[in-house]
Amino acid sequence: MKLNLKEDVITLAIESSCDETSVSVLKNGRQVLSNIINSQIEQHKKFGGVVPEVASRKHIENINEVISQALKEANVTFDDITHVGVTYGPGLVGALLVGLSAGKAIAFAKEIPLNGVNHIEGHIYANFIDHKNLKPPFICLIVSGGHTHLVYMKDYGEYEMIGRTRDDAAGEAFDKVARALGLGYPGGPQIDKLAKEGNPDAINFPKAYLEEGSYDFSFSGLKSAVLNYINTQKMKGLEIPVADVAASFQKSVVEILTEKAVKCAVQKGVDRVVLAGGVAANSGLRTHLKLECDKNNIDLKYPSLTLCTDNAAMIGCVAYYDYIKGLSSNLDLNAIPNLKIGDRN
Amino acid sequence: MKILALDTSSVTATVSVLDDDKIIGDYNLNHKKTHSKRLMPMIEELLSSCDLTPKEIDVFAVSLGPGSFTGLRIGIATVTSMAQALDKKVVGVPTLEALAFNLFNSQGLVCPIIDAQKDSVYTAAYKWVDGKMIEVIEKQVFTIYELIEKLKKQEEKVFFIGDALHKFYDVLKDELGEQFRVPPRRFLIPSAAAVGEVAKIKIENNIDLDIAPIYMKKSAAEVQYEEKMKCKE
């Protein structure tokens, strides 16, 4: 594909991989003209987590209205759109298919290119929107409710997977511990808030380093230790020091994430670490990681709070960089629930 | 007026283009349910075979359900988004009505049965009177045995169509005996051409249905939650 990049590239991006229906319009990849996020958190609260069928039903109810809002706020029409970017994985398949079907339909109807986007890559690219001069290479720590990855990003669209969780994602552990403490869903922000009032050294929860030299993570042991602690206290008829549990649990998660990310950057000789994903909003993680990066002369970047959680602007940014490389997806693009980082369909 | 119609409510993927007085093109696949992969290329191929571009379509018609939840959402998101991008109208057609339209002006009753998991079906029964479709049994989710009891009371021959026929063929035949009828195979599966024709009738009669999936069933999580709440009361 031959590209005429003299003119502005306007990206229409759609994200529906989990419980947010989001549509964004971007100019030249990094300038966000609109980023509408319709969150379903309220609908899923009573279930204590995201229910796939409920999520899919909300997406189909909202998708076209969110598209309209995004265009309106960006002050553009469909005729101004250069190409469509859409998340096709990883995520909940039924949820993904709503946004993907809409994205393919718009690209086909307007006879413009389609760029399928990996949601996790989107989280990394959120940083390019907030930090206009940021460029690869860097080490990226991606932590969210569904993912915990340590990745070396060599160039746009080029990744080396260095470590990943072997069981629960970090955000998942936050949600499960929050539920056990009766804090409700989503648990991350609640624990972060309470942790500030508690003593992080009150309870000694384990940290899983795994075998020597491994950059993988494991959070299920830590999660079980917290749940056991809560049960034991209950059985003994003792009060649960909720703030101390939150602070001690968060400390374990934050320290292991930080240590591995910093060690990886030092070993690779990379002087920049980028934080991404929903858990990048955690103030404890931001503070501790910043402190350790400073000690090692490593530059740390993380996205603003709205771009940490799921949103379509970050998807549009990936789509833009693929588009200017001349990449595009076919109309038979399917949702891939377990899509691997760096794959292109 | 050119209509692009589709139905992805079951394993069948079907796309059709209709003009004022003819069906220009029809594309049906009744092999493996991969609407997510196949639907857009089917639309692309059909339009291109008919020498049409998307913007030449005036109305987009879609089968609203009941049927596969995911299938319905793929079809509806596709149609509403094409129409939105091109600023065109969308007309929704209930799947049971579109299926019954396959047997236009037939005698006796027409009973579409759509798989609703386990021994349940989404169903209704229609009677054709002077070219008009009259609903004799209102659309609902029945177990196949509940449906059989209802139909026995009608004392008329019943033509069965829909994707659940294969699954319940034996029990329907045994229980309904002389009443049980099956039309030729080509009438058994959803047809986008029928969706388009019913859409045309809806337009002529100014019937505007909400463009949203007709699920007829709550999500399993919702049902479980309600049961839990009942127990607590």
Q: Are residues B126 and B46 in the same domain?
A: no
The CATH code of the domain that includes B46 is 3.30.420.40
Residue A5 sits at the chain B interface (C-beta within 8 Å) = no
Q: Which of A97, A99, A334 sits opposite B70 (nearest CB)?
A: A97
Dist CA A52 CA A56 (whole Å): 6
Tell me if B229 is assigned to some domain.
no
| Contact flag A54-B221 (C-beta cutoff 8 Å) | yes
Q: Are residues B123 and B169 in the same domain?
A: yes
The pLDDT of residue A2 is above 80: no
What are the strands, taking DSSP E only, across chain A? 10-15, 20-27, 31-39, 83-89, 114-118, 138-143, 148-155, 158-164, 272-276, 299-301
**Distances from the Cα of B115 to the Cαs of B50, B101, B188, in angstroms?**
33, 19, 13
CA B136 to mean position of chain CA atoms: 17
pLDDT (0 to 100) of residue A4:
55
Domains present along chain A, CATH in parentheses: 10-125+308-324 (3.30.420.40), 136-303 (3.30.420.40)
pLDDT confidence tier of residue A3, bands split at 50, 70 and 90: low
Q: At what angle do helices A242-268 and A187-195 cross, to 10 degrees?
A: 100
Tell me if B112 is assigned to some domain.
yes
Q: Are residues B164 and B80 in the same domain?
A: no
Q: Are residues B144 and B110 in the same domain?
A: yes
Tell me if B231 is assigned to some domain.
no
Q: Are residues B164 and B207 in the same domain?
A: no
pLDDT confidence tier of residue A342, bands split at 50, 70 and 90: confident
Q: Could you report the per-residue pLDDT of A245-259, keeping only the tens digit for each?
A: 999 999 999 999 999
Tell me if B227 is assigned to some domain.
no
A110 CB neighbours in chain B (<8 A) are 54, 85-86
Q: Could you report the per-residue pLDDT of A146-196, keeping only the tens digit for each?
A: 889 999 999 999 999 999 999 999 999 999 999 999 988 788 999 999 999
Q: Which of A46, A54, A109 sits opposite B54 (nearest CB)?
A: A109
Q: Could you report the per-residue pLDDT of B159-180, keeping only the tens digit for each?
A: 999 999 999 999 999 999 999 9
Q: Could you report the per-residue pLDDT of A96-117, keeping only the tens digit for each?
A: 999 999 999 999 999 999 999 9
Q: Are residues B203 and B92 in the same domain?
A: yes
Q: B120 CA to chain A: closest CA distance, Å?
A: 19
Tell me if B214 is assigned to some domain.
yes
Domains of chain B: total: 2
Residues 49-68 of A with CB under 8 A from B: 51, 53-54, 56-57, 59-61, 63-64, 67-68
Q: Could you report the per-residue pLDDT of B41-97, keeping only the tens digit for each?
A: 999 999 999 999 999 999 999 999 999 999 999 999 999 999 999 999 999 999 999
In this predicted complex, what is the ipTM?
A: 0.96
Q: Are residues B165 and B142 in the same domain?
A: yes
pLDDT (0 to 100) of residue A209:
87
Q: Are residues B52 and B69 in the same domain?
A: yes
Q: Are residues B61 and B42 in the same domain?
A: yes
pLDDT (0 to 100) of residue B233:
66
**Distances from the Cα of A80 to the Cαs of A220, A329, B48, B56, in angstroms?**
48, 20, 24, 20
Q: Could you report the per-residue pLDDT of B91-126, keeping only the tens digit for each?
A: 999 999 999 999 999 999 999 999 999 999 999 999
The pLDDT of residue B232 is above 80: no
Full domain range(s) for residue B19:
3-96+190-220
